[in-house]
Structure 1
Amino acid sequence: MSRRKNVLFGVILTSAFSLAACGGDNTGEGGSITIGHTTYSDGTAFAYVWKQLLEEQGYDVDITTFEKAFLFEGTSNGDLDVAFPAWLPFTDQSYVSKDTDEMEISEEGIMYEGAHNGLVVPSYMEDINSISDLVDHIDEFDAKIAWN
């Protein structure tokens, strides 16, 4: 896969810069921009930082929270101008591959290069060294995995 597929945040960053440079629709000085974000803490933070930056440039900015599928749908169909975050190439690839022609994917602004997502066993676990070892200790954890 090309580095293009290893983008996390470039779509959003490039879109925001493009929107800031384009002018607008007579709402405020720069126009109106709709930002969508997930409930992930980084997505919320990025949305509000960009809202502040764009409002300082004269844009009227509306922010809405969505689940991932709706976030990508809104971006591809034009209901959203910018969306946060996109975890590529793995976590969100299925959403992007459906709408790649409708989205601009850029290599600019990669925020977490090399980040991984998955289930791991902490090193402090003495008798558990792999995910498959968890089965033998199911009662210790009340058959639940805790997310921190």
Structure 2
Amino acid sequence: MNLIKRLMFAVAMGAALTVAALPASADTKPMIKIGYVEGWDDSVATSNVAATIIEKRLGYPVKLVPVAAGVMWEGVARGDLDATLSAWLPVTQGAYWTRFHEKVVDLGANFTEAKIGLIVPADAKVNSIADLAAQKTAFSGRIVGIDAGAGVMTKTAEAIKAYDIGFQLMPSSGSAMTAELARDINAKRPVVVTGWAPHWMFAKWKLKFLEDPKKVFGEAEHVDNVINPELEKKAPQVVAFLKKFQWKTGQIDGVMLAAQNGAKPQEAATKWVDAHKDQVNEWVSAAQ
């Protein structure tokens, strides 16, 4: 190797070693992995809105990971996922909390009025599940349900017996249930369906839950932001944001409805974030 080549090699090696010795750029932030329940409209909407804010306002790249509920909890506990914003507590996912609570951190609720139950149009002449017995003919003696194995279906079967209303529970699917609801509302026919909140149907139609004095469907639940403990070190700004991230009543319904009407979840989330700057500023105030 001649003198010039040796000098060039030495300069190149020196530069490489200098770069390797430098710390990572202050602008380089770690990827945040958020797990959500595939097929749950509220989980998709909440996760996409949070991801949009974390990326646009806090500067962290985000990867949304669709999983089943059990895999989601296990992923957060192991650290494969940094967070989930879809923890239904204390009942729906209570078994997962019991199993994993020592390995995760609950930052608080992002939705405080989650519930399941029986739903009718707001102008229906019934207010309680017990009222259905006297209106059996008007409602054709049936309750339009969703998938046979769903928790709300199990509870509805219990409610039919507990209130002795004599209705038949008709299994279908989430989409079939809302399609039947739409047909009956348009035809002004009385209808009762199994349902839950948050859900986009509350943004599309005026609906109400039937009162459940016997508490067959349980008390109102909350949907929480749950993280792996290491996220506190990895991305403290994200944790500060998630501690304040909480929907106001009715807000999430609009995001879900936009997606239901054909918008991609990310597009619906971005549109909502751009239209609610004051709300977003409040959420990120502790993170900046």
TM bin (shorter chain): 0.5 to 0.7
Q: Which structure ranks higher in relative contact order (CA pairs < 8 Å, sequence separation ≥ 6)?
A: 1
Shift of 1:33: 0.6
Counterpart for residue 43 of structure 1? 43
SS at match of 2:106: coil
Q: Cα 1:71–1:90, aligned 2, differ >3 Å: closer, same or farther?
A: same
Q: Cα 1:96–1:131, aligned 2, differ >3 Å: closer, same or farther?
A: same
> For structure 1, which segment, 55-64 or 71-80, has the greater mean C-alpha deviation from structure 2 after superposition?
55-64
Unaligned runs of 5+ in 1: 1-24
**TM alignment of 1:95-110, pairs within 5 A:** 95-107=96-108, 109-110=109-110
Higher strand share: 2
Contact 1:28 1:60 in 2 (8 A): no
Contact 1:34 1:61 in 2 (8 A): yes
Shift of 1:106: 3.3
Counterpart for residue 34 of structure 1? 33
Shift of 1:77: 0.7
Counterpart for residue 69 of structure 1? 70
Counterpart for residue 85 of structure 1? 86
RMSD value over aligned CA atoms? 3.1
* C-alpha distance in 2 between matches for 1:27 and 1:96: 36
Q: Cα 1:52–1:27, aligned 2, differ >3 Å: closer, same or farther?
A: farther
Shift of 1:110: 4.3
Cα deviations across residues 14-47 of structure 1 (Å, max 9, x unaligned)?
xxxxxxxxxxx87963211101101211111111
SS at match of 2:77: helix
Aligned length: 117
* C-alpha distance in 2 between matches for 1:51 and 1:96: 24
**TM alignment of 1:125-136, pairs within 5 A:** 125=132, 126-127=135-136, 131-132=160-161, 133=164, 136=166
Shift of 1:55: 1.2
Counterpart for residue 112 of structure 1? 112
Identity of aligned residues (%): 23
Contact 2:160 2:167 in 1 (8 A): no
> What TM-score comes out, normalization by structure 2 length?
0.35
